[in-house]
Every structure is written in structure tokens, then in C-alpha cells.
Structure 1
């Protein structure tokens, strides 16, 4: 079985918490992650939107674009509005051979609002979840028809946060919307990561290997503190530095024959946790657990053309 290891630039630049950002260029971010052993990078705010500009940067770094976040609003807005906003991203991602676009629901979400405590996260009634899941499925089918599949990202402080909400979303949606399984977000929400893989492995096409510091999460006052407060306090980290057992998690993916990207997405204070050092810690741990699970990790970065 083959696997690819990528990173998210959120370890270097945090869009929601500028104070948790390192003053490094895109080129330096790519250089650091590649030197740690990662062959892919998800898109961040310092990436160019022109493929003719992006491709030489990726090639020089020997890195491939392995995904990127789209802020979806299908819980409130119609499909056509989201089609208009995602269309340029689809063309860009196709031009640079990215595997997928990550769909993150921001409608009604409090994930980016530091004034909103975790306990006030939005919740959907059963009929709302059913209608929402069907809209997202239709949108996912349309994106795939344009040549770029989506991967749905369940997320803290959003309408699909808990394991129960994820189960409901998956039950009411269809194969037209694959799943991104994020170990850290599910654990933060109190879910069972291994059970979620058991339940939804057939539709998982992208994986975020985000680790958590449970001592930080357990110490939160969810009636007062927000998702961004939790991030600033250090709720997230890389595999090998947190509380999750990635040997069991990766083995579970291997048991179901998952092949594809495992992406480290670990937003934290780069002054306390230097991104290069943390990338090295995460890569070392992932190589250990990948080898134990029988994976061959691909070492080629930028694809041969």
C-alpha cells in the first residue's frame, strides 16, 4: 500500500489568528516542510492564484499541492452562489494536479469568532441536516463533473462537529461527497476516531493527521472559551507530540486499504513550537507508524511532467 505525506501551511501562517504566524515566505515554508520529508503542501493564503506562477514555485521546492480549503456556505446559501465562488479554484487545482478541494462549512460556524464560546456552536435539526447533506452531495457531484472532487471536512464549531453529527451527515449524503477524516477535530469533539473510520472508511478520500493535547482540551471552559481560544492555548499539535495513538489510527486505515494523502495540519504558536522542528517530529512519528502498518511512503514531490 502506498501513502503520501503532506502538511498544511497553518503551522507557519494562521489566517484566523495572525499572532500565531511566522514571518516566512511561501518558498521558505515549502523548503522547511520538504526538508522534514513531506512531499505535499495544502494551499494557504500566501500561495499565488495563477497556476503559471504557482507551478515553478512548487517545482523548485519539489512539492505538490495536496489540497486546499474552500469556505462553503451551503447551509445557508444556494448551490449556484457556491459554484460561482469555487469555479476559479477548480481551474487552479486542475492546472496544478491537486487531488481534491477540501470543503469546509463556514455558514453559521463560530470557528473564526473568538467572542463565541464553544458551547454556542450551531446545531441542525434532523430535517435541516437531511436537506443540507443532500445539497452538499449535489455540489460535490457538480465539482467532480468539472474535474475536481471535494472532500468534506467535519470541523469544530461548525454544523458538523460531533461524531453523531458526522454520522447523520454521512447517512443523509451520498457518494458524490467524499469525506476528509480529521483525527484531531473528531477527538476534540469527543468522538471515537477508530469507530468513525470503521463506519465511514468507504468514503474517506483524504486524511488530516492532526494531534491534540487532551490536557488543554479537558481544561477548557466551553461556556466561556472559543475554538480560537483553544487553538491559542495549544489544543493542536503534530503526531508524536500529542495524545492520540496514531499507530492504531494509521493501522485502521491500512486495514481498510486506504491509499492517499495523510496531511499534518497543526496550528499552534510558531514561537513556542517552531514549524520546522514540529514538522520533523510529525514526519518521524508518521514514518514509524506508516512502516508498522505496511505502507510504502512515496518520496517524489513535484510530479514528473
Structure 2
């Protein structure tokens, strides 16, 4: 079964809290409900305890989907990572999440507005040899705890390109699932359709965002930071950019889970309700074209 969710980053940014800072949580949740969204990922304005989080979402007929978790497995092993994150993992599990959106954030530049994407970290062979078994161990511990790790490849981090995703998938055990983010892999020069076909059996979560190809090309040519690129409109909702979503979903005939609209934009330029409404309608159409309900 496919369920369509949203990330509050469509309304208010987490890396630059001033972007959409004036938009209340209540506006975000009421608009998401009215659009037809079934569940929400976590944002900085959400309640900080599992009971309060579940209750707040329930006021709007929504459920909790998941929440981003930054790992630092190049700095500590899987057991230490799990111990360090236990409170955060418990909050997500107890609020109703089944997956843990995970991204290795050692030396990441995606949250630093002054750091060009060309300065992002790239792992050495020795670091890969350290990272991969630690990620597997962390995922196994999370699985036993009740959360399935879905790895979020992301611009500005150590797993950004298609080749890096391939290396991650080849070098980790079955407890590590993949979060397919259509926008990040496209901007990184990869092919989301090929990714979907290759990893269909390990994709446990989907972030649906589109890419404005002209903005992405300019961002690369002029070596912008991730956040400057977001503010310029590199991302948009499904159907408003260059990605062939119907083909992506056709490559996932057996997928069951969340498809989350996660298209960070400047709400001053892209009204969140109007854009998420458009993205939701487009997603429904693309899923229908692919034969997914």
C-alpha cells in the first residue's frame, strides 16, 4: 500500500529556521490535512515528546512518518552511535515511526550556507572500510529496536553520487535499506529510474522532490552552497521539474510504504499550500500511471 506524506520542510526549513519561520505548525498541519496528506515527517516546530507529537498530529487526522537522524559513524562505532541516539530513536518509535531516516553527517556541508558543494566530504577507501560495517551494525541494532534504517543519500554529504550509493548498498548488510530521494540523486548526476530498478528490493522509503534543471546547472557551474541553491529554487514538487516520476514508480511495482513530498523551497517564492497541492495531485497521477495504488 502506498501512502502519501509530506515533510514540513515544504513550509519551514530546518537548516535555516528563518526560512518559513513565520509559518506556524498549525498552518502547516491544517494545510497538509486539507490537501489530503496522510502523515508527516518531523520538523523543528513539532512537539519534543512522543505522546505530544502523536496527539498533535492526531488533531489534524495525521500520523507520524519518521524523522531525520544524523549518524557520525566515521567518529564512533555502531554500538556507540546507537547508545548516543537512543532517546531520539525512542521518540520516533514511540510516536509511531517504522523507519529511521538516516544520513552520515561527519564533515557535512549541506547545512552551511557559506560552504560550496565542491567542498563536501569524500570518503577515502580506509574510511569506507570503517563506515560500511558500522552502518550495518547500527541498522541491525535499530531493527531489533523496532526501526528500519532507510539511508538518505544527500547533497553535501559523504554519500551523494550514484556511485557512492552503489558502494553503500554493496558494502552493507540487508538491515540497511535505501531511501530513494529523486531530487538528490538527479541533482547529483544520477538516474532515479536506474536507482529504483537496481534497488527495488531494498528501497524502504521514498522522498519525492523534483529538480529545476536550469537552477541545478547554474548551481554546479557557479559552485553554490546547498542552501543558496535551495533558496534559488533548485528543488520543487513532483511534476514541476525534469524528473520522470511515472517511470520511477513503474520500476517499483512491489513498493509498499510512504512516498513523501519533501521539496524544500523558499515559501516567499513558492506558496507551500499551492505547491504541495500541485505535488500531491501530480503524485496521485504518476502513481496511477505506474499501476500503484
Secondary structure in 2 matching 1:67: coil
Corresponding position of 2:256: 259
Where does structure 2 lack aligned partners over 5 or more consecutive residues?
none
**Alignment partners' CA distance in 1, 2:260 and 2:157:** 21
Computed over aligned residues only, the root mean square deviation of the Cα atoms, in angstroms, reads: 1.4
Contact 1:183 1:211 in 2 (8 A): yes
1:85 deviates by: 3.2
- Change in Cα spacing, 1:215 to 1:224, as seen in structure 2 (3 Å) is closer
1:283 aligns with 2:271: no
Using the size of structure 2 for normalisation, the TM-score is: 0.96
**Alignment partners' CA distance in 1, 2:220 and 2:138:** 36
CA deviations 1:241-276 (Å, max 9, x no partner) are: 11111111112112xx11111001111110111111
Contact 1:117 1:222 in 2 (8 A): no
**Alignment partners' CA distance in 2, 1:71 and 1:250:** 27
1:76 deviates by: 2.2
Q: How many residues align?
A: 293
CA deviations 1:89-120 (Å, max 9, x no partner) are: 22222222212110011111111112221112
Structure 1 moving runs of 4+ over 6 Å: none
1:68 deviates by: 0.9
**Alignment partners' CA distance in 2, 1:22 and 1:293:** 37
1:56 aligns with 2:55: yes
Secondary structure in 2 matching 1:185: helix
**Alignment partners' CA distance in 2, 1:77 and 1:231:** 31
Where does structure 1 lack aligned partners over 5 or more consecutive residues?
297-305
Corresponding position of 2:104: 105
Corresponding position of 1:8: 7
1:75 deviates by: 2.1
CA deviations 1:14-49 (Å, max 9, x no partner) are: 122234214222222111111111101101111112
Corresponding position of 1:200: 199
Contact 1:118 1:223 in 2 (8 A): no
Contact 2:187 2:216 in 1 (8 A): yes
CA deviations 1:142-190 (Å, max 9, x no partner) are: 0111112211101101001000111011111111111101010000100
1:88 deviates by: 1.3
Corresponding position of 1:214: 213
Greater shift after overlay, 122-131 or 9-18?
Answer: 122-131
Using the size of structure 1 for normalisation, the TM-score is: 0.92
